[in-house]
Chains A and B, each alone.
Chain A
């Protein structure tokens, strides 16, 4: 009953629609922009430059197809080039000469051509190598032999409990990407749903609806009813995303751009990764924080105090999130290892350690067990306090409220014991 009401109220609200749609709109907007700019880039006309050089070879060097600029043939003095630059008919010019086998060049350019300078340098270097090879009388094969890069074969291995296993580099990318994704998803969902449930609870308490409800249903029913309701809302949101995501994939999978982005990624591997530990961390993490939020929400006296009451949760989650980000770069750090076993931070930190393989399977399960036990524990404690929290309307700070709630709880306990 309570579950249904919470669910209905939240899913029907405009806020929910906005919440669900806004990320989709943002993604669509970014995708649209990206698409637009990539089209724009392809269509962009080549910026001409001028090449001023006595060397035939250098002139030829820049006139072939590979460059994204065109060389205007009719400029052959520096003065003419400067003039052309002034009236913006060219984007830059190169002056080059060869002095004793060394190519000395200058590239004067506008901002548009900044990204070309390293390519130009490379081309000129190659040209210089060719010149010197000529001087040394080297055969083309010998030049090839000289400039051949060393062989570097990468093999990515994993050291896990004494065995070395090989894995593809992309696996690790997928895992880290998954960890990153989960970290952000947990963060977003915690922030949203902790807010929702804290508001629900504080609202009912502030308006004394709570007293009516608790005089018709037990605190336990109410507490878990609320939790279930909010979790169902969350599930609805995820299902909507899954459906939209799947639909979008089916619709766009043949598009060139999407192929380019996801071509290198094994979607099945990503999916498997998400379905593994990560989903456990996601579920336990969100549950844990939502329970805490209900607890802190029940400490607030009025709606206006909700933000103040959930501040500790926000800080906790932020800490976890940042340690997670830190773990992304330094998964071996001792600090990171310690944090990955603290239940409130585990969901943020552990996925990165798993991705980086700095934790044993036993360690992962230990942390999961710890987190689950902790979640059950705080649910129990929150529920115990919840019953008396909702009866306290004081303007003291959070600790004061907790202390008074504790007194009421003790007084009730003692009374029940005496009665028995």
Chain B
């Protein structure tokens, strides 16, 4: 179990991470979101002991991380890199050996992993001869092949096509099933919604969201109303609490409400003549929440 407590890190006058708290239990996936420069990479670096926090601590199974526990980590940095002139096999062996594995332990696994991630190319090929997507997969394999218990992925989905993104998701789920604690950052809220048990959004180093995806969405209320009825957009706008109305491509009106309760009056008015095809009051999507919070000025 990874426990991050009261984590604070400053560089001179800049506070990169401000009072961050979370825990990830075995078999749990946490998403870390936030704009560029929000403090995600700094958080990862503190967890990896590359930086020392000013305050707070990172515990792995109730202890500080040491060189020994490092062997249980799989880390995928934000910008991918492999030794271009080394073969796929030697590369994977080297990284696994750095994590304390023996050559003989890893060698038999390589074929299986290359197959699983559908890497095109032979294991004796030099990395630079592979396409970018395949290189990315090789790097991912190097992050996972030593069966880490703590997996840290910095923007793992960036640059992957939907097919490869799904392979990655499968890989993450498999590690989760094996009981790993997983933390990853992403700009793609769909990945976060699909994969994460919980998420944290950082803004200027401060957590502005913290909880499960469902709770977070609910806490913003069911303020997004999808409506297909006889009411015109003009009429909709007259209702109290309606901030604006948009029309989707398939003719459904979307009304943005101030509070969940505002929907009741609209429902009554829309259904006064009986049946309507659509009335759906939804919490905002993660992406909308993200944009809203990211756009807000600091208080």
Contact = CB atoms under 8 A, between A and B. Distances in A.
A420 B39 CA distance: 25
Of all A-B residue pairs in the complex, the 3 with the closest CB atoms, nearest first, are A207-B81, A208-B77, A415-B52
Given A215-B70, A218-B67, A209 B12 contact: no
B82 interface: yes
B75 interface: yes
A39 interface: no
A215 B49 contact: yes
Interface residues on B, range: 20 to 34
Secondary structure of the A side of the interface?
helix
Interface stretch (B92-100, B197-205, B225-233, B243-251): B92-100
Nearest to B142: A212
A407 interface: yes
B78 interface: yes
B51 A211 contact: no
A13 interface: yes
Secondary structure of the B side of the interface?
loop
A9 interface: yes
B287 to A, nearest CB: 27
Given A212-B75, A217-B70, A418-B54, 20 more contacts: A5-B94, A13-B85, A203-B83, A204-B81, A207-B82, A209-B81, A211-B48, A211-B50, A213-B98, A215-B50, A215-B70, A215-B75, A216-B71, A216-B99, A216-B100, A387-B50, A391-B45, A411-B10, A412-B52, A415-B52
A102 B115 CA distance: 101
Interface residues of A, number: 30
A211 B99 contact: no
B73 A216 contact: yes
Given A208-B78, A415-B54, A1 B12 contact: no
B52 A416 contact: yes
Interface string B190-234: 000000000000000000000000000000000000000000000
B50 A217 contact: no
Contacts of A414: 54
B11 interface: yes
B54 A391 contact: no
B86 interface: yes
A415 B11 contact: no
Contacts of B53: 415
Contacts of A213: 98
Nearest to B93: A5
A178 interface: no
B120 interface: no
Interface in B10-69: 10-12, 45, 48-55, 67
A257 interface: no
A209 B51 contact: no
A228 to B, nearest CB: 16
A407 B11 contact: yes
A206 B81 contact: yes
A420 B95 CA distance: 33
Interface in A368-420: 387, 391, 407-408, 411-412, 414-416, 418-419
